[in-house]
C-alpha cells in the first residue's frame, strides 16, 4: 500500500515508537502514585516528554504542556475555559468540526472571518475587522483540507492588541510548521500526538498559558487528594486519572526522532513530494488542483477534484490499486464552504517524512489513468 493519508494519521512511524511503547507496558506503572521503581520510571518519562515538547514549541515551563487524548480533547478544554453561552468568538473560515461543534454546543455567537484560499493578507484583514467585541478567537495554523498555512503570527498580534485570547489549532502543523508558543502569546495551542509528531493514536497535547483553565474532566491526580476541588496548578488541574504512559512513551520517541531530523526538514521533504505529485497530475486538464502559487503558503497537503468523477469514487478506485487517500469533507465543512467545494468535496493527498518520490510518482500516474 502507498499511504498518502498522513493528514488523518501517521500510519508510518519510527521503529523507536513501538519499541518505546512496548518497554513502557513492560516496565512502567502510574506516575505520581508511588515512590517505587516502576512508578518513578513512569514519572521520569512523562516529565521527559513534557520537556521535549516544551523545547520544540518554545514553552517556558514544562508544566504548561498538558497531555490529552487528542487535539479535539485539548480544543474542548481550551474553548470551555474561555467561552460561555452568547460569547462572541471569531474563527477562521478553515476550522475543523473540533472547533465548530464545541462552540455551537456551548451556544457561542460564532463569527467567521472568511477569506479566500491561499490569501493570508485577506485572512489578517478579516480578523482585523471582526475582532472588536470578541471574547475569544480560534485559528488553525494549517488547514487539514488544503494544507493552507494561515498567518497565525499576524493574527496573534492582532489578538494581543485587541486583548482577545487566541486558541491555535495546530492539528495539521505540529511536527512540520514551527510554532513559537511563548512568542505568539496565544492562550492555548492544541495538537494530536498521532499526526506530524509521529506518536500513537490516543495521544494529544495542549499548550496552556492560562493560569486557571477550566477542567473538562474531574478526578484523581495523585496530588492535593484531601480537596474536593481540582488542584489550582498545572499540569495536575487538567490531567485527572491515570496517564497513558505507553502512549506518552511512543509520543516521546516520535518527538525525539523529529528533533534529530528537525520539523523544518520534514516540511521541506513533504513539500518536495507534493510538488513532484502536482507536476505530474497537472498534465491532465481534467484534474483541478487546489495549490498555492506561493509555496510558503502550503504545507504537505493538497486537495483536488477530477472532472466528471465523484470524489469518493476516485478515492475508492485508488484504494483498489493500493493508494490510500481521503475523500469528502474531511470533518471540515466550513473550510469547503469557504473555498467553494462544499457540494462536491475534494480528494486529499497528504505526505509524510516516510513517503518516497517513487511512491508519489506511482500514485500520480494512477490518478492520471483514472482521469483519462
> Within 13 Å, how many C-alpha atoms sit on residue 165's CB side?
18
Q: Which long-range contacts (CB under 8 A, 24 or more apart) does 41-50 make?
A: 42/243, 42/245, 45/245, 45/248, 45/249, 45/252, 46/243, 46/245, 46/248, 48/252, 49/248, 49/249, 49/251, 49/252, 49/255, 50/235
Kindly indicate the confidence band of residue 32, based on its pLDDT and cuts at 50, 70 and 90.
confident
Give SS3 for 359: helix
Which band of pLDDT confidence, cut at 50, 70 and 90, is reported for residue 198?
very high
Q: Where are the alpha helices (DSSP H) in 8-70?
A: 15-27, 37-56
Q: Summarize pLDDT for 80-104 with one digit per residue, the tens.
A: 999 999 999 999 999 999 999 999 9
| pTM of the complete model | 0.97
Answer yes or no: are the C-beta atoms of 205 and 67 closer than 8 Å: yes
- Please state the length of the chain: 372
354 pLDDT band, cuts 50/70/90, is: very high
Q: Where are the alpha helices (DSSP H) in the chain?
A: 15-27, 37-56, 71-82, 97-106, 120-130, 152-162, 181-184, 245-261, 263-281, 311-319, 333-339, 357-371
Quick one: average pLDDT of 204-210?
Answer: 96
Average pLDDT over residues 13-36: 96
The rounded distance, in Å, linking the Cα atoms of 156 and 137 is 9
**Residues 316-347: tens digit of each pLDDT:** 999 999 999 999 999 999 999 999 999 999 99
Beta bridge partners of 76: none
Over residues 361-367, mean pLDDT: 98
* pLDDT digits 0-9 by tens, 129-171: 999 999 999 999 999 999 999 999 999 999 999 999 999 999 9
Nearest alpha-carbon partner for 60 in 208, 167, 161: 208
The pLDDT of residue 372 is 86
Which pLDDT score, from 0 to 100, does residue 211 have? 86
Residue keyed to cell 477562521: 92
Cα separation, 160 vs 223, whole angstroms: 34
Mind giving me the DSSP string for 93-142?
Answer: TT--HHHHHHHHHHT-EEEEE---TT-HHHHHHHHHHH-TT-SEEEEESB
Decide if 367 contacts 20 (C-beta within 8 A). no
Q: Is the pLDDT of residue 300 over 90?
A: yes
Distances (CA, A) of 260 to 3, 52, 255: 24, 12, 9
Instruction: Please name the residues in contact with 197: beta carbons below 8 A apart, sequence gap of 6 or more.
Output: 174, 175, 191, 205, 251, 254, 255, 258
Cα distance between residue 5 and residue 274, in whole Å? 13
Amino acid at each position: 500500500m502507498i499511504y498518502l493519508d498522513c493528514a488523518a494519521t501517521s500510519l508510518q512511524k519510527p521503529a523507536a515508537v513501538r519499541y518505546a511503547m512496548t518497554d513502557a507496558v513492560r516496565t512502567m506503572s502510574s506516575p505520581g502514585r508511588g515512590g517505587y521503581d516502576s512508578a518513578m520510571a513512569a514519572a521520569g518519562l512523562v516529565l521527559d516528554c513534557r520537556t521535549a515538547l516544551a523545547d520544540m514549541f518554545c514553552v517556558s515551563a514544562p508544566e504548561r504542556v498538558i497531555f490529552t487524548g487528542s487535539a479535539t480533547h485539548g480544543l474542548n478544554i481550551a474553548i470551555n475555559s474561555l467561552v460561555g453561552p452568547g460569547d462572541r468568538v471569531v474563527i477562521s473560515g478553515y476550522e475543523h468540526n473540533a472547533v465548530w461543534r464545541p462552540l455551537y454546543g456551548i451556544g457561542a455567537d460564532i463569527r467567521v472571518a472568511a477569506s479566500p484560499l491561499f490569501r493570508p493578507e485577506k485572512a489578517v484583514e478579516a480578523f482585523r475587522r471582526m475582532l472588536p467585541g470578541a471574547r475569544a478567537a480560534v485559528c488553525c495554523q494549517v488547514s487539514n483540507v488544503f494544507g493552507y498555512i494561515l498567518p497565525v503570527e499576524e493574527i496573534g498580534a492582532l489578538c494581543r492588541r485587541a486583548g482577545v485570547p487566541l486558541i491555535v489549532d495546530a492539528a495539521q502543523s505540529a511536527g512540520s510548521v514551527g510554532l513559537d508558543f511563548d512568542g505568539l502569546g496565544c492562550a492555548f495551542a492544541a495538537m494530536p500526538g498521532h499526526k506530524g509528531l509521529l506518536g500513537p493514536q490516543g495521544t494529544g497535547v495542549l499548550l496552556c498559558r492560562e493560569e486557571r483553565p477550566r477542567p473538562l474532566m474531574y478526578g484523581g491526580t495523585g496530588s492535593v487528594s484531601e480537596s474536593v476541588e481540582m488542584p489550582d496548578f498545572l499540569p495536575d488541574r487538567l490531567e485527572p486519572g491515570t496517564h497513558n504512559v505507553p502512549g506518552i512513551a511512543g509520543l516521546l520517541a516520535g518527538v525525539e526522532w523529529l528533533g534529530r531530523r528537525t520539523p523544518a526538514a520534514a516540511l521541506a521533504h513533504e513539500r518536495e513530494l507534493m510538488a513532484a505529485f502536482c507536476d505530474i497530475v497537472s498534465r491532465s486538464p481534467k484534474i483541478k488542483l487546489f495549490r498555492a502559487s506561493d509555496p510558503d503558503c502550503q504545507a504537505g497537503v493538497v486537495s483536488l477534484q477530477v472532472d466528471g468523477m465523484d470524489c469518493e469514487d476516485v478515492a475508492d478506485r485508488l484504494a483498489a490499486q493500493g493508494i490510500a487517500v481521503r475523500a469528502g469533507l474531511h470533518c471540515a465543512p466550513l473550510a469547503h464552504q469557504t473555498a467553494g467545494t462544499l457540494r462536491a468535496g475534494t480528494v486529499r493527498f497528504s505526505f509524510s517524512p516516510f513517503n518516497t518520490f517513487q511512491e508519489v510518482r506511482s500514485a500520480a500516474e494512477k490518478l492520471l489513468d483514472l482521469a483519462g
